[in-house]
Structure 1
Amino acid sequence: MMGRQRNDQAQFFYSFHLDDRVPTGHLLRRIDVFVTQALAGIHREIAAFYSHTGRPSVDPKLMMRMLIVGYCYGIRSERKLCEEVSLHLAYRWFCRLDLDDAVPDHSTFSKNRHGRFRDSDLLRLVFERVVGLCLATGLIKGEGFAVDASVIEADASRYHGLEPEKIDWNTVERPSRAVREYLEALDGAEELEAGRKAPKVISPSDPASAWTAKANKRVQFGYGLNYLIDNEHAIIVDVEPTPARTFDEVRSTATMLERTQARFGLKPKRLAADTAYGTGKFLDWLVGQEIEPHIPVWDKGSRDDGTFGRSDFSFDADLDQYTCPAGKTLKQFRRNYAVARTDSAHDSIRKYRASQKDCQPCELKAQCCPNMASRNVLRSVHEEARDQARQLAGTPQFATSRNERKKVEMLFAHLKTTLRFERMRLRGLTGAGDEFHLAAIAQNLRRMARLTAAAAA
């Protein structure tokens, strides 16, 4: 029989406590103890960036807790976040707000994130404290690291890109914060680094982003989210924002490794990455740091036309020369110069040349250099490091690292699907840094909560 609710008179008094309404196993309850430790003493850290006059400021701890809620649950809009915190009991409990406490206005986030938080580097501080907690709880082993980058679409229209020479920044009356940061970096930059290509298209609204087709093969402006993780439990030990260019992403790895060692005393024995990181220069840097490069070598020495590749030529380091399959030598210099030359390296590449007298009558010429008078072989100045990486490629440890490297890709998948982080909301490299640090904080907290709960069970 269908009944009716007969009591339509609201209760006059309620006995209500927020703590009783949040389940024991709720994510926010499990990460609360870690967030409390990470935020301890931040008033002292950023006190110099607050004014002592005017209206009372919003507690930075409250703002940080609200931002953590937003990134843990994929609430990308700050306006929506304020609404959700106002309505959700668990969110109020986590943010230390009582039922009758007012939620800060969404505009407060912009003022603090672009000002006090950024000037004091608060987000970086909180991220490093969370990593320190992971280290203290034994979730970071420090032996094997993995690195990778994922493209996050910039808050810039892909239809409004312009060639750099067609933009006159002097005509912009009120440049945005992202434009000002870009121009300041441009003024302070030196000449173009070796290996870096000048951008063909830039965005007038977010010029620091890169024109890329890496994500889903769709051309767009984007930033590179670079994660350095510990392979044991996929804890993010460092994060770095870059334009979505392979050159910048590879270079940022050295920055993250050096910073991780300086901050936490962590130096891995091995580093896993994909082929994009297998450049001679980076492999040589890793070998110099005594870090095993478990990275496939980026090698263009093989040929697909049936002719001999570079691997078919043997190299003698003592004599500094190659020997071809027919037993003839290839040297850097085949003439006697008045001033003896010792190296022909250009753009980190040495060229070894065979003699035409050896190549022309050779029976193997059709398989070696059918369209050239004589054969040349190019060798990187970092070839010894590349050879070391090739030797490691056949070891069981390399195969293990290749499997562990998938963990960083899983973090990117989780970030984009579960946490809904596919497009930037802030502009400029500093804006990207803010968002990436918060994303890494949220993922580390969620992972720490799950792993510590499993250990306690």
Structure 2
Amino acid sequence: MRGMDETSGSLFSYVDLEERIPTRHPLRKIRQVVNDALASLDAEFEALYTDFGRPSIPPGRLIRASLLQILFSIRSERQLMEQMNYNLMFRWFVGLGIDDPVWVPTVFTKNRDRLLSTEMSRKVMAAILAHREIAPLLSDEHLSVDGTMVKAWASMKSYQPKADAAPPDDDGPGDPPAPDTPLETAPSETPAETDPMPRNTKPLRNAEVDFKGEKRSNATHASTTDPDARLYKKSPGTGAVLCFMGHALMENRHGFVVQGDLTQADGHAERRAALDMIHRHSPGSTRRLTLGADKGYDAAGFVADLRQACVTPHVAQKSRYSAIDGRTTRHAGYALSQKHRKKIEEPFGWAKTVGGMAQTMYRGVERVRSRFILTMAANNLARLPRLLGA
């Protein structure tokens, strides 16, 4: 008998979200690890909130929703709230019941800005790595470091001269001569002929701008959209863009990112951030560590600072004037570190293709830094089901 294609509403519906999610779904293991990590941060959350006022979004649900946004490449909080309204799996992962209302996007954004600071993002990453199932997978001695460019949410047309920059010379080529007497308008001229902007005419919103021959640098120019962004190019032969510099410290055994950071872009940012991440990862450690890196880290000052911090610099050698000598390259571990350090490009690639860090949608170095660190933590979570399943 042919079934009828008719829709009939039911008066009562009993939907158990736990039963709707497949047993072998990868999000089950990720949710378990995230819940255990957030439970260990309960005292941290308690210290951030007062005992009076309107209740905010629970911090655990807010962090799970932010991780979900990164894992599923959802480009905005508004779209995240829209999908949580009808996606049962999203509701289950965040912790919302089938009848619970979804938050207003602007309320979610304000709560996220107050909670997910740089310090809180680092604590979330550390709590995930300290999980009883993840900690045995990490290497305590062999690390790698690298940096990547994160394009800022700012156009090159917003890169304008600073207000406190030195004014040009009075006899510059662009300054018109000052007239001796004010210009007089002839009686026969109409207002339309003298007015540079005729009435009922609006300026072009996205007019073309010719930058050819104009000298611009971070010392004299800044973006009006995001003043923290810097004009920078990482390699010769490429165009400079407004960007930040993201950094990651990876353990070499399974490729987990153990430290993340983001700074303003300049030629020394990668080496400074590497030292900061090493000291945060192993404060006051007397164990001998190894640190693999590319040729950009082959600088005499950086290598000396690593040796002073009890870290063996397994840095790729420059063709000329390398700070790495035979004391380091003669050991078999040097070649092994050079082989494993290239795996750090995988978290960067995942962050840009899946995590939305090819061009950030946040402004200000503090917001972009906290989002970048949370994206590195989400990359670690994305690799868990396969590793723990094996």
- Give unmatched runs, 5+ long, in structure 2: 167-216
TM-score (ref. length: structure 1): 0.68
Q: Which residue of 1 aligns with 2:352?
A: 416
The Cα shift of 1:53 comes to 3.4
Which residue, 243, 267, 271 being the options, matches 1:250? 271
Cα distance change of structure 1 residues 198 and 14 upon mapping to structure 2, 3 Å threshold = closer
Cα distance change of structure 1 residues 132 and 42 upon mapping to structure 2, 3 Å threshold = closer
Contact 2:260 2:376 in 1 (8 A): yes
- Alpha-carbon distance in 2 for matches of 1:37, 1:204: 42
Q: What SS class does the counterpart of residue 409 from structure 1 fall into?
A: helix
TM-score (ref. length: structure 2): 0.79
Which residue, 146, 149, 152 being the options, matches 1:151? 149
- Alpha-carbon distance in 2 for matches of 1:451, 1:285: 35
Per-residue CA distance 1:78-131 (angstroms, 9 max, x = gap): 111111122211111111111110111211233223324439x32221111112
Map residues 197-212 of structure 1 onto 2, 5 A cutoff.
199=219, 201-212=221-232
Per-residue CA distance 1:171-198 (angstroms, 9 max, x = gap): xxxxxxxxxxxxxxxxxxxxxxxxxx96
The Cα shift of 1:152 comes to 0.8
Contact 1:46 1:122 in 2 (8 A): no
Map residues 308-457 of structure 1 onto 2, 5 A cutoff.
386-388=323-325, 390-454=326-390
Q: Is residue 107 of structure 2 the alignment partner of residue 108 of structure 1? A: yes
The Cα shift of 1:286 comes to 1.3
- Alpha-carbon distance in 1 for matches of 2:343, 2:132: 17
- The two structures, once aligned, show a CA RMSD in angstroms of 2.7
- Alpha-carbon distance in 1 for matches of 2:38, 2:335: 40
Cα distance change of structure 1 residues 41 and 243 upon mapping to structure 2, 3 Å threshold = same
- Give unmatched runs, 5+ long, in structure 1: 169-196, 302-382
- Alpha-carbon distance in 2 for matches of 1:44, 1:79: 30
Q: Which residue of 1 aligns with 2:308?
A: 288
Q: What SS class does the counterpart of residue 62 from structure 1 fall into?
A: helix
- Alpha-carbon distance in 1 for matches of 2:286, 2:255: 15
Contact 2:262 2:369 in 1 (8 A): yes
Higher relative contact order (CA 8 A, sep 6+): 2
Cα distance change of structure 1 residues 104 and 430 upon mapping to structure 2, 3 Å threshold = same
Per-residue CA distance 1:139-187 (angstroms, 9 max, x = gap): 112221010011111111122213446569xxxxxxxxxxxxxxxxxxx
Map residues 221-300 of structure 1 onto 2, 5 A cutoff.
221-262=242-283, 269-298=289-318, 300=320
The Cα shift of 1:291 comes to 1.8
Partner AA of 1:16 in structure 2: V
Q: Which residue of 2 aligns with 1:161?
A: 159
Q: Which residue of 2 aligns with 1:214?
A: 234
Partner AA of 2:295 in structure 1: T
- Alpha-carbon distance in 1 for matches of 2:72, 2:165: 39
Q: Which residue of 2 aligns with 1:131?
A: 129
The Cα shift of 1:70 comes to 0.6
- Alpha-carbon distance in 2 for matches of 1:7, 1:230: 57
Per-residue CA distance 1:428-449 (angstroms, 9 max, x = gap): 2211221112101101111223
